[in-house]
Amino acid sequence: MEKKLLETDVLIIGGGSAGMWAANRFKDLQPDKEVVIVDKGPKDWGGLMTMAGGDFDAVMPDENIADWMEDFVYYFDGLCDQPLMEEILKCSFDRMQDYQRNGCTFFKKDDGSLKSVPQRGLPHVKLYPAQLKGRGGEMMVRALVEQLQQKNVKRLGRILITDLLKQKERVVGAVGFDTLNGDFYVIKAQAVVAATGVGGWKTSYGKNTPTGEGVELVYKAGARLKDFEFSRVWNMPKYFGWEGQTTLMPLGGRFVNALGEPFMEKYSPILKANTDPHFTTIAMAMEIRAGRGPIYFDISQINPDDLVLLKPQNGWQLMNYEKLRDLGMDLFRDNTQWVPQMTISYGGMDAGIHGETNVPGLFAAGTARSTEPGVYAGGFALMTTSVTGYLAGEGVARFLEEQPQVEITLDEDEISSLQKEIYAPLGKDGLSPKAVLTEIQQIMFPYNVSIIKTETALQDALHRLKTLQLTKIPQMAAKDAHYLLKLREVRAVAFVSELYLRASLERKESRAGHYREDYPQRDDAYLGWLTIEQDAAQQMQFAWEPVPTAQYKYPITRYYSDNFTFIKKD
Amino acid sequence: MIASIDVKKCVGCGNCVNRCPLDVIRLNEQKKAYIAYPEDCMTCYICERYCPAGAIYVHPFREALPKIFTQEY
Ligand SMILES: Cc1cc2nc3c(=O)[nH]c(=O)nc-3n(C[C@H](O)[C@H](O)[C@H](O)COP(=O)(O)OP(=O)(O)OC[C@H]3O[C@@H](n4cnc5c(N)ncnc54)[C@H](O)[C@@H]3O)c2cc1C
Ligand code: SF4
Ligand code: SF4
């Protein structure tokens, strides 16, 4: 194993949508400066976007930003960072145009206009599906990689960054290791962008790389986090993966219980099935708990003309559909069994419009920064990650213009102790990361921890998790560099699980994607973001950052969660 | 989950190895791809889609996950 030293102006951790956009924009502004993107996955794979269908939210020039803002303030139950969201919406059409200019096409109707699909029963928010449904994200990755090549951005794959380096409070680089051959990397940089995505629980297709090492490393460097009480509780087929069900809902797709009842009508008489999947999942779990499971997906109400938009035509979606059909399972013919499932965490860095965090020299981009409180409109992520990546690129460019270049002197003792810590589990006998992951999943997945939360269940889970962190995490071992990566991932999954449990206990109300059965009403005392920071004694400090309603442009008068009967109104 | 790689068909191009997001596949000394870390597969089909020789089969079922409810449903 070798030790490798790199030096660059800007280090971008994570080559997903956000990281690539940040690099791209930075290079437009400062073409002579050097940028390196480092990713734990394959070089140029593009993160989750490589699997994305390509649905994109954008406010068209003939629409009003204010209309969309009102939708989001309502949809987020007030937890909307209004200046940030306004900026995202303002830039959304420009980023969509950038994609179109670079060869990505969106689905057009017969009259040549773009096809849009309204989202979650909201009056204005809508997505634009990619032309090649199922390969839209892949095309976007290709377009961005081409740009990065032209602009001379250096890209490295299969390297996990584990720790940030600081000099007098300013972030000046990072260390990590090559997950194939184990080489140790030390990277000096004038500024760092963390575009590392979210945390999560490795629940199969598309959810196996967002595991939270980025969350752990920025937290250790002093970054303020927020929104960890929210997790993505989604619905998925019991036996296989499926993508695209959210596009089916506004067009008549729905879930039915074992009695054949379309139960969402009962839980949400106004929105019915056409709502946010987090609320559908809560209702699903309630039906199963009441003995009315299993739950099936029913497409009998969809207009056959719309099915052309919905049938998988490309990429993963088509291959998946055909493989399942060959096994006698046709989602477009049969009712298939679906289950509620916790998948990834929301939550991320608390950052300003241009990605600036509370730590000088550290910028946040994409889903690594928090933008939504546990509800999710289709097409939202490709919009927010492109825009926040772009804005972080601008933030870093300004930072480097305004701040003096620092002479970086490495603290060799610190580096060798980080190196020792990284390789300590290597070549030893011990627990396999996968076995420990399964134990974490067993703690986290029960419905009263992940979906319909209660104090007792959360406390019990936290107690079990703390025991696991003390007894099992240190006993994990890695045969080789591959397993060393998996081990770090599982450690981060445990860390993010702790953030989720503690934050869920703190928010004693139900709001947006967070549902507490023992506090089933909204409480104005919690109209704010729950932030988390490490204090000097290395303890987790929680604090409330109230929504600054007096300064905000859009009043909070309506709440999306009021549409659901399980949210109690005093 | 990735089910098989047909060594007779594999031409050793390395596409699957380089593209697998989870580093499940490696090339052996004979330049044939093999499933090195099967338990890490997430059923994304990337390897199968980019194999020029049609050597890979990924089964569409995902791995089973721990339960949400204690009772069966
Ligand atoms: C199957 C699927 C379909 C989707 N479809 C759509 C859609 O149609 N429309 C839509 O809007 N959204 C969609 N999404 C969501 C969207 O693709 C993602 O939310 C978005 O691409 C996330 O971008 P990101 O850059 O923030 O994070 P990521 O894509 O997760 O990128 C983070 C990158 O950082 C790397 N990384 C993390 N930690 C480290 C570390 N410590 N060191 C080195 N590297 C690290 C990871 O390997 C990863 O490449 C879909 C997602 C999936 C999985
Ligand atoms: S299906 Fe995806 S995760 Fe599994 S081996 Fe192939 S490329 Fe890797
Ligand atoms: S992509 Fe196919 S041919 Fe190429 S190495 Fe992999 S299995 Fe062999």
Domain boundaries, chain B: 2-58
Report how far residue A383's alpha carbon sits from residue A125's, in angstroms, rounded to the nearest whole number: 12
The alpha-carbon gap from B9 to the nearest alpha carbon of chain A, in Å, equals 20
Q: Identify which ligand lies nearest to the alpha carbon of B2.
A: 2
Q: How far apart are CA A46 and CA A476, in angstroms?
A: 30
The whole-number average pLDDT for the span B12-38 is: 98
**Fold held by A425-506:** Methane Monooxygenase Hydroxylase; Chain G, domain 1 (1.20.58)
Write down the CATH number for the domain with range A3-230+346-402.
3.50.50.60
Question: CA A552, A226, A568: angle at the middle one, nearest 5?
Answer: 70
Q: How far is Cα of residue A129 from the mean position of the Cα atoms in its chain?
A: 20
* A244-340 CATH, one of 3.20.20.140, 3.30.420.270, 3.40.50.720, 3.90.700.10: 3.90.700.10
State how far residue A198 is from chain B, nearest Cα, in angstroms: 16
| CATH of the domain spanning B2-58, picked from 2.170.190.11, 3.40.190.10, 2.60.40.420, 3.30.70.20 | 3.30.70.20
A27: exposed, middle or buried (C-beta count within 10 Å: 0-12, 13-18, 19+)? buried
**Rounded Cα gap, residues A322 and A312, in angstroms:** 9
CA–CA separation, A513 and A376 (whole Å): 9
Residues 39-58 of B with CB under 8 A from A: 39-40, 42-46, 48-49, 58
Q: Which residues contact A243 (CB under 8 A, 6 or more apart)?
A: A51, A53, A134, A205, A206, A316, A317, A320
What pLDDT does A425 receive? 98
Q: Where are the alpha helices (DSSP H) in chain B?
A: 15-19, 46-50
> To the nearest 5 percent, what fractions of chain A are helix, strand and coil?
40, 20, 40
Cα A42 to Cα A141: distance, rounded to the nearest angstrom: 13
pLDDT tens, position by position, A490-505 = 999 999 999 999 999 9
Protein residues with CB under 6 Å of any ligand 1 atom: A 13-19, 38-41, 47-49, 51-55, 137, 160-161, 195-197, 206, 209-210, 213-214, 243, 366-368, 379-382, 385
Between the CA of A19 and the centroid of ligand 1 the distance, in Å, is: 10
Among partner residues A45, A241, A285, which is closest to B43 by beta-carbon distance? Answer: A241
| Residue B27 at interface with chain A, using a CB cutoff of 8 Å | no
Beta strands in A58-182 (DSSP E): 117-118, 126-128, 154-156, 159-167, 170-178
State in Å, rounded, how far the first CA of chain B is from the last one: 24
Summary count for chain B: helices (H), strands (E):
2, 4
**Looking at this protein, which amino acid is placed at residue A225?**
L
A447 close to B (CB below 8 A): yes
* Nearest CB partner across the interface for A208, out of B36, B42, B68: B42
Q: Which two tokens stand for residue A6?
A: 């790199």
How are strands ordered across the β-sheet holding A254-256?
A231-237, A336-345, A295-298, A254-256
Judged by a CB distance cut-off of 8 A, whether residue A45 touches chain B is yes
Mutant choice from B27, B34, B68 vs A, greatest count of A C-beta within 10 A = B68
**Complex ipTM value:** 0.97
Using CA positions, which residue lies closest to atom 1 of ligand 3?
A: B51
- Residue A3 has φ and ψ, to the nearest 5°, of -105, 125
According to DSSP, residue A232 is labeled: E
- Across the interface, which of B19, B63, B69 has its CB nearest the CB of A204? B63
Q: What's the CA-to-centroid distance between A17 and ligand 1, angstroms?
A: 7
| B56 Cα–ligand 3 center, Å | 7
Identify all chain A residues contacting B48, using CB atoms and an 8 Å cutoff.
Answer: 319
DSSP string computed for A496-526: HHHHHHHHHHH--S-BTTB-BTTS-B--GGG
Contact criterion met (CB < 8 Å) for B66 and A158? no
Across the interface, of A179, A239, A442, the residue whose CB is closest to B61 is A239
What pLDDT is stored for residue A308 in this prediction?
67
Q: How far is residue A239's CA from residue A323's CA, in Å, rounded to a whole number?
A: 13
CA–CA distance, B2 with A346 (Å, rounded to integer): 29
Q: B72 pLDDT band (50/70/90 cuts)? A: low
Question: Chain A contacts of B19, Cβ < 8 Å?
Answer: 42, 45
CB within 8 Å: B68 and A339: yes
Q: Which two tokens stand for residue B64?
A: 């089973």
Q: Tally DSSP H helices, then E strands, for chain A.
A: 16, 18
SS3 A190: strand
Q: Quickly count: other Cβ atoms within 10 Å of residue B40's Cβ.
A: 24
Listed as ranges, residues in chain A with pLDDT below 70 are: 308-309, 570
- Spatial contact of A57 and A246, defined as CB atoms under 8 Å apart: no
Gyration radius of chain B's alpha carbons: 14
For residue A208, which residues of chain B lie inside 8 Å, CB to CB?
A: 21-22, 40, 42
List, for residues A335-387, the tens digit of each pLDDT value.
Answer: 889 999 999 999 999 999 999 999 999 999 999 999 999 999 999 999 999 99
Joined together, the tokens standing for residue A2 give 């070798």
d(CA A147, CA A521): 48
Alpha-carbon distance A491 to A469, whole Å? Answer: 8
In A339-379, where does DSSP find H-type helix?
Answer: none
> ω before A118 within 30° of 0 (cis)?
no
Q: What are phi and psi of A254, to 5 degrees?
A: -160, 160
The rounded Cα A551 to chain-centroid distance in angstroms is 28
The rounded distance, in Å, linking the Cα atoms of A466 and A495 is 10
Please state, in angstroms and rounded to a whole number, the distance separating the CA atoms of residues B32 and A412.
42
Atom 8 (ligand 3): residue with closest C-alpha? Answer: B10
Interface test with A, best of B18, B35, B44, B63 (most A CBs within 10 A): B44
Distance from the CA of B11 to the center of ligand 1, in angstroms?
31
CA of B9 relative to ligand 1 center, distance in Å = 33
Report how far residue A87's alpha carbon sits from residue A354's, in angstroms, rounded to the nearest whole number: 10
Measure B62 CA to ligand 2 centroid, in angstroms.
Answer: 11
Residue found under tokens 């660059």: A8
Distances (CA, A) of A339 to A239, A243, A294, A363, A419: 9, 14, 8, 37, 42
Q: Any idea what DSSP says for residue A239?
A: S
As a dihedral over the C-alpha atoms of residue A200, residue A206, residue A208, residue A213, rounded to 10 degrees, the angle is: -50
Question: Among residues 314-373 of chain A, which lie with CB inside 8 Å of chain B?
Answer: 315-316, 319-320, 323-324, 327, 339-341
| The dihedral sign for the CA sequence A44, A211, A313, A110 | negative
- CB-based contact, A445 to chain B, within 8 Å: yes
Cα separation of A34 and A28, whole Å? Answer: 12
* Interface A-B: count of C-beta contacts within 8 A: 93
Q: What is the pLDDT, as a whole number, of residue A376?
A: 94
Position B46 scores a pLDDT of 96
Write down the pLDDT at residue A299.
85
| % residues pLDDT > 90 (chain B) | 89
Task: Search chain A and give the residue with CA nearest B47.
Answer: A316
* Best of B19, B39, B47, B56 for a ligand 2 pocket test (most atoms within 8 Å of beta carbon): B47
Whole-number pLDDT of residue A356: 98
Which amino acid type is present at position B34? Answer: Y
The answer to whether the beta carbons of residues A235 and A245 sit under 8 Å apart is yes
For ligand 3, the distance from its centroid to the CA atom of residue A285, given in whole angstroms, is: 42
For residue A99, how many other CB atoms are within 10 A of its CB? 22
Ligand nearest to the CA of B59: 2
Q: For strands A225-226 and A348-349, give the pairing.
A: antiparallel
Query: 3-state DSSP call for residue A26?
Result: helix
Q: Does B34 touch chain A (CB under 8 A)?
A: no
The kind and range of the H/E element at A529 are strand A528-534
CB A247 within 8 A of CB A285: no
According to DSSP H, which parts of A46-122 are helical? Answer: 65-75, 82-101
Q: How is chain B split among helix, strand and coil, in percent rounded to 5?
A: 20, 20, 65
